[in-house]
């Protein structure tokens, strides 16, 4: 009886040992497969060769430019930056007194987009309201162009980044299919891995382009609203002269 019990225990332990050995071997194979199919990001960058590295550097540059342009736009495309409240208040006070020269002096002392538009209107105050309106419109268009000069680069980044990513993907797929031609039918797994690596450039390019274009349209609309507000404010200040006596030196 004792021998039978010992034999059964030995058989059970042997079976368990064989099972654990098989499980460990299978787990090791799965780990190797996972490591082989999940290359590091550095391997993804270097897999495309010299051209692939250059494209990745270009995409990284567009991402840095995107962040820098967004921060710059948040700092410059602001109503308080373009239309300083102190200047607006001083000019309004001078215009209510009919002192155009004093209003021009305030604009010269605090140069900014709104002061340039106001100066364009005040400089033609003797030419009639139609001439003033035309001068203000031209000045406003010029200030909008200046305000949008750096913001427009966000549009460039938004269109350039996915193109660079697509070029990297095409270059990677060309290399992948060339490798498949040399490896034959056995290189199907390597082909899938190469294509997966190549698609990373397009994914990263889109990751840069989407926020770049979104912020471009946001800041473009924001700048247009500010410019229209400045233009209307200038014309309102000019209209004040109709109800007061103009002071001239």
66-110 pLDDT per residue, tens: 999 999 999 988 888 888 888 888 888 887 777 778 888 888 888
Q: Are residues 19 and 102 both part of a single domain? A: no
Q: Are residues 29 and 106 both part of a single domain? A: no
For the chain, which residues score pLDDT lower than 70?
1-39, 41, 44, 47-48, 179-193, 240-249
Which backbone phi and psi does 113 adopt, to 5 degrees? -55, -45
pLDDT digits (tens, 9 = 90+) for 99-123: 778 888 888 888 888 888 888 877 7
How far apart are the C-alpha atoms of 165 and 203, rounded to whole Å?
Answer: 7
Total structural domains in the chain?
A: 2
Q: Are residues 117 and 47 both part of a single domain? A: yes
pLDDT at position 5, please? 41
pLDDT at position 237, please? 73
Q: Are residues 104 and 25 both part of a single domain? A: no
Q: Are residues 122 and 225 both part of a single domain? A: yes
Q: Are residues 137 and 83 both part of a single domain? A: yes
How far apart are the C-alpha atoms of 187 and 207, rounded to whole Å?
Answer: 31
pLDDT at position 109, please? 83
Q: Are residues 205 and 109 both part of a single domain? A: yes
Domain carrying residue 5: 1-38
Q: Could you tell me the pTM of the whole model? A: 0.69
Q: Are residues 134 and 197 both part of a single domain? A: yes
Q: How far is CA 26 from CA 13, 20, 31, 135, 189, in A?
A: 20, 10, 9, 80, 19
Q: Are residues 63 and 115 both part of a single domain? A: yes
Q: Are residues 69 and 168 both part of a single domain? A: yes
Q: Are residues 144 and 192 both part of a single domain? A: yes
């Amino acid at each position: 009886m004792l021998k039978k019990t010992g034999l059964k225990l030995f058989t059970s332990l042997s079976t368990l040992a064989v099972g654990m050995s098989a499980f460990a071997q299978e787990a090791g194979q799965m780990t190797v497969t996972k490591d082989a199919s999940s290359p590091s990001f550095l391997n993804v960058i270097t897999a495309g060769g010299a051209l692939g590295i250059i494209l990745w550097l270009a995409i990284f540059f567009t991402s840095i430019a995107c962040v820098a342009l967004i921060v710059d736009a948040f700092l410059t495309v602001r109503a308080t930056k373009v239309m300083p409240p102190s200047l607006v208040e001083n000019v309004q006070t001078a215009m209510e007194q009919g002192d155009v020269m004093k209003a021009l002096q305030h604009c010269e002392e605090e140069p900014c987009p709104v002061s340039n538009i106001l100066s364009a209107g005040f400089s033609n105050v003797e030419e009639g309201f139609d001439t003033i309106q035309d001068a203000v419109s031209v000045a406003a268009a010029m200030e909008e162009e200046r305000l949008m000069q750096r913001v427009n680069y966000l549009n460039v980044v938004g269109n350039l980044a996915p193109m660079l990513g697509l070029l990297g993907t095409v270059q990677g797929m060309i290399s992948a299919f060339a490798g498949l031609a040399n490896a034959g039918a056995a290189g199907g797994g390597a082909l899938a891995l190469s294509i997966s690596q190549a698609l990373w450039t397009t994914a990263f390019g889109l990751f840069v382009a989407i926020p770049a274009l979104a912020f471009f349209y946001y800041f473009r609309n924001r700048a247009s609203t500010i410019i229209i507000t400045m233009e209307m404010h200038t014309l309102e200040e000019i209209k004040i002269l109709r109800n007061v006596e103009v002071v001239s030196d």
